[in-house]
Amino acid sequence: DAGVIQSPRHEVTEMGQEVTLRCKPISGHNSLFWYRQTMMRGLELLIYFNNNVPIDDSGMPEDRFSAKMPNASFSTLKIQPSEPRDSAVYFCASSLGGSANYGYTFGSGTRLTVV
Amino acid sequence: SQQGEEDPQALSIQEGENATMNCSYKTSINNLQWYRQNSGRGLVHLILIRSNEREKHSGRLRVTLDTSKKSSSLLITASRAADTASYFCATYNQGGKLIFGQGTELSVKP
């Protein structure tokens, strides 16, 4: 298995533009998580899905952020409009059955810079 | 919000020495996990210890858990330069969320 695949690896965009981050989880994993990592706030859980259904989006910072999982092999995180404070590394992770018995497999992340 | 807090924030040792990192948390947990992150990369799962376990080993890694003190430690024995990375503890509770601490930056000098 190629692991969790995220694209793009790097994204530089101007303030006000729409940004879409993509994630392909490991085949067979039924839980998917989006995290954001910054120096100031560390790793923050934004939203997670179980069997393609959003379970908890309480970590999504604002209405500018939205996430979808149209099928078991694909998820997107969209920021519209983007702001400089959204600059961070965004990670997608997947797991088999949440994390009660198994760890998460993380992607390599998307480094987002909003100028 | 951060659940776990690692101590120390940074640790520098010589190759061959042991490295010990500690993690404290606030609420009851289902399990506690340790992850490694190399610079510019994603996190890699190292080990999971359940709330009813006290110690777990995996290769050169040894994890302990004390639920009465709400703390855990990760010991890396006979460290290598390749162990240089950030190490995070993460707690999983009944709410179904895995919450990470701020991490310990380990530097192993050859």
- B96–A55: do the CB atoms touch at under 8 Å? yes
Contact A92, A32 (CB under 8 A): yes
Q: What is the mean pLDDT of residues B30-38?
A: 95
Averaged pLDDT score across all residues of chain A: 94
What does the DSSP 8-state code read for residue B64? E
Q: What is the mean pLDDT of residues A8-24?
A: 98
CA distance B91 to chain A (A): 10
Measured between alpha carbons, how far is B16 from B22 in angstroms, rounded to an integer?
Answer: 20
Q: Judging by DSSP bridges, how do beta strands B85-92 and B98-100 pair with one another?
A: antiparallel
The pLDDT of residue B6: 86
Measured between alpha carbons, how far is A107 from A100 in angstroms, rounded to an integer?
Answer: 20
pLDDT band at A1 (very low <50, low <70, confident <90, very high): low
Give chain B positions within 8 Å (CB) of A108.
Answer: 41-42
Q: What are phi and psi of B53, to 5 degrees?
A: -105, 155
> Which of B31, B95, B98 is nearest residue A104 as measured by Cβ atoms?
B98
Evaluate if residue B1 carries a pLDDT over 50. no
A103 touches chain B (CB under 8 A): yes
The pLDDT of residue B10: 95
Q: What is the mean pLDDT of residues B4-32?
A: 93
The pLDDT of residue A98: 66
> Tens digit of pLDDT for each residue in B84-96?
999 999 998 877 7
HEC profile of A49-79: EECCEEEECCCCCCCCEEEEEEECCEEEEEE
Higher pLDDT, A49 or B4: A49
Evaluate if residue B59 carries a pLDDT over 50. yes
A31: left (phi over 0), alpha (psi -120 to 50) or beta: beta
Q: What is the mean pLDDT of residues B11-34?
A: 95
Q: What is the mean pLDDT of residues B67-83?
A: 97
The pLDDT of residue A100: 74
The residues facing B63 across adjacent strands are B56, B74
Give chain B positions within 8 Å (CB) of A55.
Answer: 96
B110 touches chain A (CB under 8 A): no
A67 touches chain B (CB under 8 A): no
Poorest-confidence range of A28-32, A63-67, B5-9?
B5-9
% of chain A at pLDDT higher than 90: 90
pLDDT band at B97 (very low <50, low <70, confident <90, very high): confident
Evaluate if residue A66 carries a pLDDT over 70. yes
